[in-house]
Structure 1
Amino acid sequence: MSQTLLLVDGSSYLYRAFHAMAPLTAPDGTPTGALYGVLNMLRRLRADYVHDYCAVVFDAKGKNFRHELYPDYKATRPPMPDELRPQAEMLPDLVRLMGWPVLVVPDVEADDVIGTLAKQGEAEGWDVVISTGDKDMAQLVSQHVTLVNTMSNETLDTEGVQNKFGVRPDQIIDYLALMGDKVDNVPGVEKCGPKTAAKWLAQYGSLQNVMDHAAEIKGKVGEHLQAALPQLPLSYQLVTIKTDLDLHSELSDGLESLRRTTPKWSQLAVEFKRLNFRTWLKEAEERLHEGNGDLFGAAHIGEQAALAEEKPSKNTPAIAEAPAKLDYQAVTTEARFADLLTKLAKAEAIGIDTETTSLDAMQAQLVGISIAFQPGEAVYIPLGHTPTAVPEQLDLHNVLGRLKPHLENPALKKIGQNLKYDQHIFANYDIALNGIGGDAMLASYILESHLGHGLDELAERHLGLPTITYESLCGKGAKQISFADVALEQAVEYAAQDADFALRIESHLLQQMDDKQRDMYQNMELPVAQVLFMMERNGVLIDKNELTQQSHELGSELLALETEAYEIAGQPFNLNSPKQLQEILFGKMGIPTKGLKKTAGGGISTNEAVLEQLALDYPLPKIILQNRSLAKLKSTYTDKLPEMINPQTGRVHTTYAQAVVITGRLASSNPNLQNIPIRTEEGRRVRRAFTAPEGSRIVSADYSQIELRIMAHLSGDKTLLDAFQNGEDIHRRTAAEVFGVSPESVNAEQRRYAKTINFGLIYGMGQYGLAKSLGIDNLSAKNFIDRYFARYPGVADYMQRIKEQAAREGFVETLFGRRLYLPDIHAKNANRRAGAERVAINAPMQGTASDLIKRAMIDVADWLVSDGLKSKLIMQVHDELVLEVPEAELAAVEQKLPAIMAAVADGKLSVPLVAEVGTGANWEEAH
């Protein structure tokens, strides 16, 4: 599913708002006009451009690297006006309260941060929207990167850049260098304006070629060009936006750090009152009280529900009714604990949450337990706080021993937020948390998969209430304290609120579900969470010696590749240094640079795409690519996996995130089992270390071509249906259809083409993408696609039909009713709209495949328990289940497992599901 990253040039916004807005002041005399203007533009932007991730970027104070290149850079700029300075200082905090991540990075400009983020987003396959009025940003525009100017309502894609400036986006840097920039004091060619610069670039193609042909340009302007030749490379550097900054210290979780959040309504109301923004204050108070949507543009909730023509009650998230009063109590005495046990014995449902020492669920220790009985009524039992923070605490083991019958009672319904984590915590103390009845995170995931599912966001969205954050109690970074050091009063308020809010939110969301959604929640997502808990608990046995041997061999291979690279280059050099690699490849070896991608600094790029291009003709780039691939494999897997082995179990225990991918797929982390490479021999060898204990085997069961089978069902195409129903090789059949030969005559190359076409088209690939994948020209790719649709007309009809449905309803659904929203389906920008249409084609297939593997996990887990087998589910990777099976049970598992997986479609598919089973001493052998 395509994500959207919205980036805002905050510094550009600030100055434009300052000059555009009438002077406003707060009651205390503080100027506020620019603040109001920026917040208003952000409000409009968030409403107009639905997005998953976002950031507002401001320039840092002081000089940056461009001043080192050219001390007079921006020397002619006037200082910031006095009335703007206090507004500039207040703005970042206000923007954060509105739910926007804010970045201010020293030594570079906002443009460079935005450029780097845009390239990272583009590399992820995301659509990137940059809001700015700065023409320099046009150099970033591409198929996936668009500029918007909220003041002029102008949108610039690649065609828009060409129309506005007369040059392509990849020529913008050359264009700017020729003209110079008086505002930033960047020297250019005297008397060279936009028309002249565009004319030269149209004639010569690039700045370098203009410089090379300077003597041919006659007249006064030609003289000015020749006079400017020594300084033009510097000008080029100054106007080039960097796209390769290291932002790890600012974004510890990468782009995930930029996920949009809900505005902090209560704090914004205070600020609006102080600044005398009366209309916004009134509206914020109404939103806080009534929950009528997001003042600052979480408009996709309302937009998508409206597009779906839902009932009026679903157009905006309703707010759960608040309790008359709050009653949060600490349980630190025997008398209070006895009262708690009495209440538990009578209760039918409780909200529950744990406070712990770590996010590593398998090794975390308890600090306290919170239990909610009804909205507004909850208790907190401190068990592991330091004596300084909480002097009086009950004995942990005594408390757990007496709570255990209630926690393990399946008749007492437990509600929480990401209860799988809490299950692990109790399991660490030999307590099986039974009676899992609801999870606010999973309920939100069913209703609104496109939004965030953290408790803070859910409370804002569905209770209209702010939460006490962990950071507000414990701080962050190096100065962060443990929750065990938090004083009792604050700990009670924080922990009891978590259990209380989870109970309230889950109940509220359950009431909003229709029958299909309730069925998916109660009969798919909640049971799957139990299977995932079991799988995480089981873990997978890792052969540490095998990994050590692989690391040693990879080290030797890397050393050999380095030696070979040195011999070809004629000297030693750092293979990981782009600068040294540039000097070797394009300087010393003289490899032609025409047509190769440039870096922000004007040099020739040595990124993977460029090296792959060069590797077709030159040995050194090929060796560099091999070196990078093996080095990543070594550092990410063979070196790191042994460090992740749990010392108590001797196994690696991944964590499966269930509410992250909006199509329903699971995400694996610490370690990420889904990213272990399988396309290279070295990558596949890593799976050899995932092994079974003595007396057991690894069994892998993988759905065969599941998304193509779903496509056959959804499209109803007769040829596809016949192929699958007859058990044919679908790629061979497609090759026969497209190339007009008999299936028996299809060769390996034709089958490869057909496989690329089959999978490419279900992901909405067009002729340009297919041409690139197959290494053919665009016309040939178009002919292949035309022939494919001529032979499979049902597929073409489905694609058109599903795009029309998405445009009409604003969402698509899986076969089992999982709803997948498409906020960009009505986007004004053609690229974003086309991206949404591609998603509309693939989402029902990918989402249905996700639903099927989840149903398989549930059924397989139930079978293992009901038949009393000792076999264990240990991994789930995409469409594959991996089990650890005692040899005595091997024959039964090999026979029954594929049958169970094939039966989960429950008569919903018009083609058979096929699960292919493999067995081995390790994962590589089984797969």
Structure 2
Amino acid sequence: MGNTTTDPQTGGESLAVEPRLLTSAGEVAEILPQLLAASVVGLDCETTGLDPHRGRLRLVQLAAPGGPVYCVDCSAVDPRVLQPLFAAPETPVLVGHNLAFDLAFLSTAGLVLPPQRWLVDTGLAGQLLEATPAMPSLAALAERHLGVALDKAHQQADWGGALSPALLDYAARDAAVLVPLYDRLTAALKQQGLERAAALEFRALPFVVWLRLSGVPWDPAAWEAAVETAEAELAAATAALTSLLPQDGLFGPMADPDSPQAMRQALSALVGQDLPDTADGTLALLDHPAAAALRRYRRVATLAQRYTRDWATVHPTTGRVHPDWRQLGTATGRMACTAPNVQQLPRDGGYRRAVAAQDGRVLVKLDYAQIELRVAAELSGEERLLEAFARGEDVHRRTAQLVLGVADPTPADRQRAKALNFGLLFGMSVEGFQRTAAADYGLRLTLREAGELVEAFFRAYPGLRRWQAERHNAGVSAVRTASGRVRWAVRRPTERMNTPVQGTAADGLKAALGLLWRHRERLGTAVPVLVCHDEVVFECAAEEAAAVAEAAQALMVEGMQRYLRRVPVEVEATVCQNWSGDGR
């Protein structure tokens, strides 16, 4: 691991490092052969801020095994002199922690990664090992895997001024620890059977950096219109609900629409039965105007309160919105984002119109068709589902024929079958299906009718029943996806069903992101705008839309098909002016 000393503050082991400050292009040129000959190089950066579009690189720290830590002062040296190190396709392996941050700054400084460049992110590796959507800190990983204490006292230091010996020592340690940490984490990933999942994430990492930098094209006027519409709808929904509630006695001023208890009491009195709660599924089963009015009120109130005028901030330099994308944002391996969470923008209400291509450009939306059903068919081996997908049939129509016994299903039959396909995929109870069918698909069923449909569904798809039963009876167990991604000690049966399906879909998407980055020259001027679960959206010049759609479709199919061998993959492409699908 290298020389260590005892940290006087923590009592733990601390790396002994030799920082060497480089302040000229000539000095950098001298040390490049040594770095290029190394098998692995630890990479870290210190910056003058957190925003790569407004901050700048101050230091690039580079550590090879057994040597000093070279600290390139980017206020004196153009960082592009390091391009030979980044241009080498496979070796040395560049190892960093939370590399999405560092690579964003390096990219804006002009350092370009070739398609095949091999990167290792200790943060992503730590997330895979710990099966957590929260990236562990470098200090935590160093302590856990090396027994080394990293002093982070200078983490918030001013890196725009003079570089003191203490600052250089701090910066050097963060790079130096990456080399032994790489060895330990690589061994741990292999021991836990996570090498393939790690390679998948490392290959997708440059795409995530690309996504962060490109940003979301934003139409403030469309957003303002959506907010105003929501405010008007909230006022109307409030008035409609209030008009249906008793106006005197207990339910006058006490019947607060935002109080579940008050609404339960008021609605129980109105419908003449004691309601257990006012959950959306419960209300959807009630054939009463007050129940429908309360559902509408809650829906529009949630939108109006969540999506306010200041929900998104347009960057002053780029004129776009730049969410904080998290590559491993959920326990199943899906991406997530915050500040703002564009993935959660609802389809209704006009909010998605604000994600709009700039003049002369269009959006190309690419969406995996029914991917979770396809993954479930693959994993369960359910022959009828496999056959339907292989023939290119409408699976909801096929379910209607098998379960409802109708040769020529009506749109209502198909809707009922759709509720079954999606509602029962992860082992939902009969009661849960009854509520979901009413809330999400507008189907009011008695408990008996719901039970009969559930039983008929699993008679039609015995392979799916068998696969679910195996997971239901597995007890507390680890669950893996097709890439080997793992969740440890999963207790809930629904999670033991959901994780391999949703996680394998995430595996295929991550493989596709790696391919989209690797073959980005086939995408012309296209830049990624967002990734929303099973959907990828690009912005490109209008005249390139057809070519971008064709190339991206092929790459996304190829990525997902690595994990789905028995089920064909389909990607639906839509060219539009904004994310709602409007215009061309």
What TM-score, normalized to structure 2? 0.82
Which of 376, 399, 421 in structure 2 is aligned with 1:734? 399
Q: CA offset at residue 891 of structure 1?
A: 2.6
Tell me which structure has the larger Cα radius of gyration: 1
Q: Secondary structure at the match of 2:531?
A: strand
CA contact (8 A) 2:377 2:385 kept: yes
| Equivalent residue, structure 2, for 1:869 | 524
| Equivalent residue, structure 1, for 2:441 | none
User: Residues 704 and 397 of structure 1: is their aligned pair in 2 closer, same or farther, counting only changes over 3 Å?
Assistant: same
The code of the aligned residue for 2:321 comes to V
1:595 maps onto 2:274 in alignment:
yes
| Equivalent residue, structure 2, for 1:843 | 499
Q: CA offset at residue 508 of structure 1?
A: 2.1
- After the TM superposition, which residues 761-772 of structure 1 pair with which residues of structure 2 at under 5 Å, given as runs? 761-772=424-435
Deviates more, 1:716-725 or 1:907-916: 907-916
The code of the aligned residue for 1:769 comes to G
Which string of whole-angstrom CA distances, capped at 9 and with x for unpartnered residues, describes residues 635-669 of structure 1? Answer: 5435135x411111111122321233232211122
Q: Secondary structure at the match of 1:700?
A: strand
CA contact (8 A) 1:668 1:674 kept: yes
CA contact (8 A) 2:56 2:105 kept: yes
Identity percentage of aligned residues: 26
Q: CA offset at residue 490 of structure 1?
A: 4.3
User: Residues 625 and 380 of structure 1: is their aligned pair in 2 closer, same or farther, counting only changes over 3 Å?
Assistant: farther
Q: Distance in 2 between matches of 1:630 and 1:461?
A: 47
1:398 maps onto 2:76 in alignment:
yes
Aligned residues: 558
Which string of whole-angstrom CA distances, capped at 9 and with x for unpartnered residues, describes residues 495-538 of structure 1? Answer: 3222222332223222344497434433x212211111112222
User: Structure 2, unaligned stretches of length 5 or more?
Assistant: 1-6, 438-443
The code of the aligned residue for 1:703 comes to Y
Which string of whole-angstrom CA distances, capped at 9 and with x for unpartnered residues, describes residues 19-44 of structure 1? Answer: xxxxxxxxxxxxxxxxxxxxxxxxxx
| Equivalent residue, structure 2, for 1:860 | 516
Q: Secondary structure at the match of 1:555?
A: helix
1:342 maps onto 2:34 in alignment:
no
Q: CA offset at residue 627 of structure 1?
A: 4.4
| Equivalent residue, structure 2, for 1:518 | 195
Q: CA offset at residue 740 of structure 1?
A: 2.2
The code of the aligned residue for 1:850 comes to A
CA contact (8 A) 2:35 2:85 kept: no
Which of 614, 617, 627 in structure 1 is aligned with 2:288? 617
The code of the aligned residue for 1:795 comes to L
| Equivalent residue, structure 2, for 1:916 | 572
- After the TM superposition, which residues 65-76 of structure 1 pair with which residues of structure 2 at under 5 Å, given as runs? none
Which of 364, 375, 378 in structure 1 is aligned with 2:69? 378
User: Residues 637 and 341 of structure 1: is their aligned pair in 2 closer, same or farther, counting only changes over 3 Å?
Assistant: farther
CA contact (8 A) 1:353 1:499 kept: yes
Which of 126, 148, 151 in structure 2 is aligned with 1:444? 126
1:880 maps onto 2:535 in alignment:
yes
Which string of whole-angstrom CA distances, capped at 9 and with x for unpartnered residues, describes residues 607-650 of structure 1? Answer: 7659947985354x655554443344345435135x41111111
Q: Secondary structure at the match of 1:885?
A: strand
| Equivalent residue, structure 1, for 2:326 | 657
The code of the aligned residue for 2:489 comes to P
CA contact (8 A) 1:713 1:909 kept: yes
Which of 484, 507, 510 in structure 2 is aligned with 1:818? 484
Q: Secondary structure at the match of 1:925?
A: coil
Q: CA RMSD in A?
A: 3.9
Q: Distance in 2 between matches of 1:770 and 1:738?
A: 15
The code of the aligned residue for 1:544 comes to P
Q: Distance in 2 between matches of 1:841 and 1:611?
A: 25
User: Residues 725 and 578 of structure 1: is their aligned pair in 2 closer, same or farther, counting only changes over 3 Å?
Assistant: closer
1:674 maps onto 2:323 in alignment:
no
Which of 137, 149, 153 in structure 2 is aligned with 1:466? 149
Q: CA offset at residue 329 of structure 1?
A: 2.5
Name the structure, 1 or 2, with higher relative contact order (CA <8 Å, separation 6+).
Answer: 2
Which string of whole-angstrom CA distances, capped at 9 and with x for unpartnered residues, describes residues 242-286 of structure 1? Answer: xxxxxxxxxxxxxxxxxxxxxxxx99998xxxxxxxxxxxxxxxx
| Equivalent residue, structure 2, for 1:431 | 111
| Equivalent residue, structure 1, for 2:363 | 698
Which of 633, 637, 642 in structure 1 is aligned with 2:307? 637
Q: CA offset at residue 734 of structure 1?
A: 1.2
Q: Distance in 2 between matches of 1:561 and 1:739?
A: 37
- After the TM superposition, which residues 277-676 of structure 1 pair with which residues of structure 2 at under 5 Å, given as runs? 326-329=16-19, 331=21, 334=23, 342-348=30-36, 349-374=40-65, 377-380=68-71, 396-401=74-79, 403-406=81-84, 408-410=86-88, 413-432=93-112, 435-450=117-132, 453-454=135-136, 455-469=138-152, 472-473=153-154, 488-514=164-190, 517-522=194-199, 524-564=200-240, 578=258, 591=270, 595-596=274-275, 609=280, 612=283, 616-619=287-290, 622-623=292-293, 625-637=295-307, 639-641=309-311, 643-676=312-345
1:759 maps onto 2:422 in alignment:
yes
Which string of whole-angstrom CA distances, capped at 9 and with x for unpartnered residues, describes residues 338-396 of structure 1? Answer: 65653333213421212334444444444544332226853556xxxxxxxxxxxx6x4
The code of the aligned residue for 1:689 comes to A
| Equivalent residue, structure 2, for 1:903 | 558
Q: CA offset at residue 401 of structure 1?
A: 4.5
CA contact (8 A) 2:58 2:159 kept: yes
Which string of whole-angstrom CA distances, capped at 9 and with x for unpartnered residues, describes residues 751-789 of structure 1? Answer: 333222222332121223223323544444333232222
What TM-score, normalized to structure 1? 0.54
User: Residues 485 and 892 of structure 1: is their aligned pair in 2 closer, same or farther, counting only changes over 3 Å?
Assistant: closer
User: Structure 1, unaligned stretches of length 5 or more?
Assistant: 1-265, 271-287, 289-321, 382-393, 475-479, 598-604, 825-831
Q: CA offset at residue 543 of structure 1?
A: 0.9
Q: Distance in 2 between matches of 1:811 and 1:869?
A: 43
Which string of whole-angstrom CA distances, capped at 9 and with x for unpartnered residues, describes residues 689-735 of structure 1? Answer: 11112222211111111111122222222221221112211112112
CA contact (8 A) 1:440 1:503 kept: no
- After the TM superposition, which residues 36-435 of structure 1 pair with which residues of structure 2 at under 5 Å, given as runs? 326-329=16-19, 331=21, 334=23, 342-348=30-36, 349-374=40-65, 377-380=68-71, 396-401=74-79, 403-406=81-84, 408-410=86-88, 413-432=93-112, 435=117
User: Residues 686 and 907 of structure 1: is their aligned pair in 2 closer, same or farther, counting only changes over 3 Å?
Assistant: closer
Q: Distance in 2 between matches of 1:328 and 1:729?
A: 65
CA contact (8 A) 1:330 1:379 kept: yes
Q: CA offset at residue 880 of structure 1?
A: 0.9
Q: CA offset at residue 855 of structure 1?
A: 2.1
Q: Distance in 1 between matches of 2:495 and 2:295?
A: 32
Deviates more, 1:483-492 or 1:747-756: 483-492
Q: Distance in 2 between matches of 1:415 and 1:426?
A: 14
Which of 882, 893, 904 in structure 1 is aligned with 2:548? 893
CA contact (8 A) 2:362 2:541 kept: yes
Q: CA offset at residue 442 of structure 1?
A: 2.4
Q: Secondary structure at the match of 1:646?
A: coil
CA contact (8 A) 1:656 1:666 kept: yes
Q: Distance in 1 between matches of 2:9 and 2:399?
A: 59
| Equivalent residue, structure 2, for 1:800 | 469
Deviates more, 1:433-442 or 1:343-352: 433-442
Q: Distance in 2 between matches of 1:326 and 1:672?
A: 42
Q: Distance in 2 between matches of 1:440 and 1:588?
A: 54
Q: Distance in 2 between matches of 1:886 and 1:433?
A: 24
CA contact (8 A) 2:481 2:499 kept: yes
The code of the aligned residue for 1:509 comes to L
Q: CA offset at residue 402 of structure 1?
A: 6.7
User: Residues 615 and 399 of structure 1: is their aligned pair in 2 closer, same or farther, counting only changes over 3 Å?
Assistant: farther
